Structure formats: structure tokens, C-alpha cells
Structure 1
Amino acid sequence: MNDDNQLIQLIKKNPQEGLSAAIDLYGSTIKWIVIKIIGHWNSQDIEECISDIFVKLWMNIDNFKIESNISLKSYLCGIARHTAIDYLRKAKLHFEIIPIEENDIGLSVDFTDELAKQTNCLILQEAVDALPEPDREIFILRYYFHERINSIAQSLCLSPKAVENKLYRGKKVLRDSLIERGIII
């Protein structure tokens, strides 16, 4: 079942079967994201985090809009990222998190309002998805998967300076795109 609309309808009609299908399709990707963010510290916590991610998908399935040009997989990956980071915060583990939605791109955004946060996340995801390649991939690797610049440069066969330049120029383009798309400030 690759069609997002069919999977969404299945989750709405029969949550158990729909979530089972979603886990079959995206479970390994979600597990990879969770492990990438929180590490291998406790397999029980990893499984609990993954379960929470799919529960959040089910609880928020009505908020997903197919016409938004964001795939269900991307939406679910966003939920996974935020949930895993929340798990890290709760466990009081410390590591460098690079929040793209804050001052890094020159915007001060109020994320205390949950609706504004959801809207901003969708706008941010659309803006990043609109970036040309390899800029889009560089942004995802750096700000979503927290990869180091040297690692990104090596995997994309670019120099570290080229990656830094693309990030610098991309942040300007992204900032303008976010304002144009109506990010809630």
C-alpha cells in the first residue's frame, strides 16, 4: 500500500490495521531516525518512543492534508524527530541539537502556541522540500539528522567549505521563503 490517501483512510476506519500497515511501510525508517537521535541507550525506550510516534500519527491523522505536497512519510518523519528529541530532553541527556527553527536563520519564532508550532513545522518542511538538490539534502543531513559538515561533505563528494557555503546561502533563501509562506512569528 503506497498510496498515502489509502493508508490515511485505513488508519481512520480501522486504526489497528492502518497502524500495522504504517509500521510495515515506515517502521524501519522511523527506528533509524529514533536511533540516530537518541542513540542505542535502551532498546525498551527506543521501542516505546517508536510506539509513541505511531500513536501520535493516529491521533493527528486528521491534521494531515494530502494536498499540502508533503508525503505521509515526511509527516511521520517529522513526528519521529520531535518525539525522539522530547525523549532525549526527558532523559536529560545532553548533546548538541541544532534548532533550525530558531535564531540560526535569523527569525525569532514563538513556539509556545501548539497550533503555531504545527503550522510553522509544515511551512518549514515545505520550504526545505522546495530547495534544489543538493542543498535540500545538505539541510536535511545537517539540521534533521545532525550530521557534521565534514561527514556531509564526504558523503556528497563536496568540500567542507562548499557545504558551509551552501548552508549559508541556503539559510538566506530559506528565511525569505519562510516569511513568504507565512511563518508565524
Structure 2
Amino acid sequence: MEQEIVELLKKQDFLGLEKFIDLLGTDIVKCIRAILNHSEEITYQKEAENEVFYRIWKSIASYDAKKSSLKTWSLTITRNICLDKKRAIIREQNIIPMNQVPESPLVDDYFEKENFLDLLKNLTEEDQLIFLKYYYYQDTPNEIAKELKMDVTQVYNHLSRGRKRIKELFDPSL
């Protein structure tokens, strides 16, 4: 089934796209909703969905069944597009990450995120911001440094110092 869909997509046959959407559309939409789950981001879900299907349509030639399944390849594209869109929304709206606590009860790891945010309360505001950008929003140290107008080594120092502080909370003898 997957091979037939890939062949049709490579031929730019819309029947292949229809079959692809029937096969993986639900998984892609779930992935989009899981990543773009804040109230400010919900309006961007359909845009992300269109972008995902367009990117898959255009880049199907680069798909290699030996490296991954069609589902894995498609969800990787979906995840990357959604994370890029999430970062763009945050920058566009100048949202401070602490205001981005999940509100949706559909998020399975809500309590993990709550615990993460509780741990961050023990850090300085600057360390909190860097930790959120790095661990929660998955920004690279270079992106963080550029946005906060600091050197990349400073970002690494903040991350290291913050991890050490959090470890001390669990084992004060460190």
C-alpha cells in the first residue's frame, strides 16, 4: 500500500495524495494539534496542515523506504514544520515562554510540563527563559544567543549552571 502511494506521489498523481491523506492524514493532524496546542497557535493549525501536505507532495522524491517508513518520514516533516511555526508565532507575538503553559487537557504530558515549570521557579529569570527556549521550545543555543543578544558560550554556561542548581534541589550534598 505504502509503495503504491509513494509511486503515485512521485508521478504527481492526485490519487496518490488522496490515498496518502486517507492513510496518514489523521496521524499528521494529531501531530499538528499536539505541537500547536496553545490558544494563540490554534488558528495556525490549518496553515501548518496545508504546508505539511504541500511539502510532502514536493519532496516525495527524497523519501527512501530503506531509511524509514512513510509514516515516520511524514511525521518528521510534520514535527519540523510545526516547531518552526511555533517558534515563528512566539517571535511574531513576542510571547514570553512562561505565559505559554499548556491549557489544553488533551496534552498527555501536562503534569510533566507542570513539574518542569516548578523546577524552573528555582532559577533566575534569565536562566528560566534560556531553559524554556532550549528544553521546551527546542531552540538551538545559537538561536537563543542571537535572540537574547549574548554569546553562545554564555547560553551554555546558563544551561550548565541551571542544571547544576536543579540537581542540587534533588541532592543537596552535590
TM-score w.r.t. length of structure 2 = 0.50
Q: What's the CA shift string for 1:109-164, capped at 9, x where partnerless?
A: xxxxxxxxxxxxxxxxxxxxxxxxxxxxxxxxxxxxxxxxxxxxxxxxxxxxxxxx
Question: Deviation of residue 67 (structure 1)?
Answer: 1.8
Q: Which 4+ runs in 1 deviate beyond 6 A?
A: none
- 1:56 corresponds to: 55
Report deviation, 1:43: 4.9
3-state SS in 1 of match to 2:71: helix
Per chain length, whose mean CA-contact separation is higher, i.e. which structure has more relative contact order (CA < 8 Å, sep 6+)? 1
User: What displacement does 1:37 show?
Assistant: 0.6
State the 1:22 CA deviation.
1.0
Greater CA radius of gyration, 1 or 2?
2
- Which secondary structure does the structure 2 equivalent of 1:39 belong to? coil
| Maintained 8 Å contact 2:31/2:78 | yes
Percent identity for Structure 1 against Structure 2: 23
Q: CA RMSD in A?
A: 2.5
Question: Distance in 2 between the 1:35 and 1:5 partners?
Answer: 27
1:27-176 alignment to 2 at 5 Å?
Answer: 27-39=25-37, 41=39, 43-68=42-67, 70-92=68-90, 94=97, 96=132, 97=136, 99=138
**Conservation of the 8 A alpha-carbon contact between 1:15 and 1:58:** no
Aligned to 1:23: 21
Q: Which amino acid aligns with 2:84?
A: D
Asked if 1:10 is matched to 2:8, the reply is: yes
Deviation of 1:47 after TM superposition, in Å, equals 1.2
Letter in 2 for 1:46: Q
Alpha-carbon distance, 1:34 to partner: 0.7
Rounded to whole Å, the distance in 1 between the matches of 2:61 and 2:71 is 15
Query: What is the match of residue 122 of structure 1?
Result: none
Contact 2:12 2:57 in 1 (8 A): no
Q: 1:40 to 1:74 in 2, by over 3 A?
A: same
Counterpart of 1:12, as a letter, is K
Unaligned 5+ segments in structure 1 are 104-185
Distance in structure 2 (CA, Å) of the matches to 1:73 and 1:82: 14
Aligned residues of 2:87 and 2:137 also touching (Cα < 8 A) = no
Q: 1:60 to 1:22 in 2, by over 3 A?
A: same
